[in-house]
Structure 1
Amino acid sequence: MLDCIEIAPDTDARASVIWLHGLGADGNDFVPVVDELGLPADHGIRFVFPNAPTRPVTVNNGMPMRAWYDIKGMAIADKQDAEGIHASAAEIEALIAAEIERGIPTQRIVIAGFSQGGAIALHTGVRHGERLAGVMGLSTYLPLADTLAAEAAPANRDTPILMAHGTEDPVVPIALGRDSRDALTDAGYDVAWHEYPMQHQVCLPQIATIGRWLSERLCG
């Protein structure tokens, strides 16, 4: 099981958000965002921020860092590390199972992530065998899109997906994000897409959108 940072609600937990960081970061990366989401005081959401394993990353000259999978070329959607993606998806499945054991049903769990973490969130969410409350991918893309049709789980065909991207992103080009959105939409998924005038980051208007989206999914 991955080690995780958790933020517990003031009340009993009635829902969970498993939020994955980007390449080279760690579980602390999005902890400060929780207080900025504008959630109601009694939201009952437990936030789980796992730390990715440390592994060599090819584009960074093989330097070991926290990464959900290897990036083998400068065009991040090429030469995809299917083995690493599948291994990280299995780790997230284990975290989902742990939340279920703690009393949170799958339909009260959101899988979220930024950049590389968002790619794993999208990949895992549409393949998870039981319905989730939602899937969120920020400044990211859909990896292994060519296997989506064969591997998608019927239970999450109508699960809401939130995607957001900066129009000036130099790391994950917005064209790649838009292509991923279109692939999901063409496959019948309900994708809410938002663009912001920013680079590879998050911004306050985007955080407000995330807060509203999570409230609609988990606080009703």
Structure 2
Amino acid sequence: MPEQPLLSTVEVETASPVTASIVWLHGLGASGHDFEPFVPELRLPRSLGLRFVFPHAPRQPVTINGRYVMRAWYDIAHPDLGRQVDEAGIRQSLQAASALLDRERQRGIPAERLLLAGFSQGGVIALHAGLRYPAKLAGILALSTYLPFPASLDTEASAANRGTPIFLAHGDYDPVVPLTLAEDARHQLDSRSYPVDWRHYPMAHSVCAAEIGDISGWLQGRIGSG
């Protein structure tokens, strides 16, 4: 299979020199700009020397949205997200996310100072790719999302990331990705002894102020100073 070109990205650096990076994947129909305004809201200390990398997902027709072409990490064919899962699309996006992590390492960032994050569809890829990445990451941040075909972890999970901390957060009133799917993801990860920091908030399919504060604290704990 020919090597895929790197996805185009939006980048935000909080200080120089950069000593850590977060690759952050947006949700269905959004773009790399979606979480760009989120960076200053985290109020992270400049001493972390962070680079945020926000890739744009490829444009593709999405079945559940009438085959309308939009940015998506994989196709969705059914309102029940556990049915007719686009495994091929998810695996292709795994390669795209892994390539961006590889590029950060080539730019001089050690794997243990790399994080993979995502919201909704992007969170699916963050979990799927992060748990399979061959070098140990600093952490995986998965917001308002779920875990696709968890049984495949038993044969595909990277030994290097068996102990990688995971921040898993969800809205109690999420009409897009039901809370039960997030709770099932938590259970599947717990049962495999992954260290999961589970949070839920009185919100819908979104991000709230309390969650932003918790993410900020968690990131600082994972990265520390450069």
Coarse TM-score class (shorter-chain normalised): over 0.9
Q: Deviations 1:101-128 (Å, cap 9, x if unpaired)?
A: 1000111000000000000000011111
Q: Which residue number corresponds to residue 203 of structure 1?
A: 208
Q: Does 1:129 align with 2:130?
A: no
- For 1:26, give the aligned amino acid: S
User: What amino acid is aligned across from residue 185 of structure 1 in structure 2?
Assistant: D
Q: Which residue of 2 aligns with 1:68?
A: 73
Match of 1:144 in 2: 149
Secondary structure of the equivalent of 2:189? helix
In structure 2, the gaps of 5 or more residues are 1-5
* Structure 2 residue matching 1:120: 3-state secondary structure: helix
- Aligned position for 1:15: 20
Tell me, yes or no, if the aligned pair for 1:70 and 1:81 is still in contact at 8 Å. yes
The whole-number CA distance in structure 1 between the counterparts of 2:14 and 2:110 is 17
Query: Which blocks of at least 5 consecutive residues in structure 1 are unaligned?
Result: none
What amino acid does structure 2 have at the position aligned with 1:30?
F
Q: Distance in 1 between matches of 2:72 and 2:176?
A: 15
2:9 aligns with: 4
Kindly, what percent of the aligned residue pairs are identical?
49
- Residues 21-30 or 34-43, more deviating: 34-43
Cα deviation for residue 43 of structure 1 reads 1.8
1:187 aligns with 2:192: yes
Deviation at 1:211, TM superposition (A): 0.5
Q: Distance in 2 between matches of 1:14 and 1:130?
A: 17
Q: 2:115 aligns with which of 96, 100, 110?
A: 110
Task: For residues 154-197 of structure 1, give each alpha carbon's deviation from its aligned partner in whole angstroms, at most 9, with x where no partner exists.
Answer: 10000000000000000000000000011011011000000100
Pairwise CA distance, 1:9:
2.4
Query: Where has structure 1 moved over 3 Å in runs of 4 or more?
Result: none
> 1:19-34 alignment to 2 at 5 Å?
19-34=24-39
Deviation string 1:48-71 (CA, Å, 9 cap, x unpaired) is: 000000011010011110000000
TM superposition shift of 1:41? 2.4
Q: Secondary structure at the match of 1:31?
A: coil
Encode CA deviations 1:83-107: one digit per residue, 9 max, x unaligned: 0000000001110110001000111
Q: CA deviation at 1:76?
A: 1.1
Distance in 1 (CA, whole Å) between partners of 2:111 and 2:91 is: 20
Please list, as runs of the form range in 1=range in 2, the aligned pairs for 1:29-44 lying within 5 A after superposition.
29-44=34-49
Structural RMSD (CA): 0.7
Q: Secondary structure at the match of 1:64?
A: strand
Displacement of 1:198 in angstroms is: 0.2
Secondary structure, counterpart of 2:37 in structure 1 = helix
Equivalent residue pairs, number: 220
TM-score (norm 1): 0.98
Deviations 1:17-63 (A, max 9, x none): 00000000000111111101121122201000000000110100111
Q: TM-score, normalised by structure 2?
A: 0.96
Compute the displacement of 1:148 (Å).
1.1
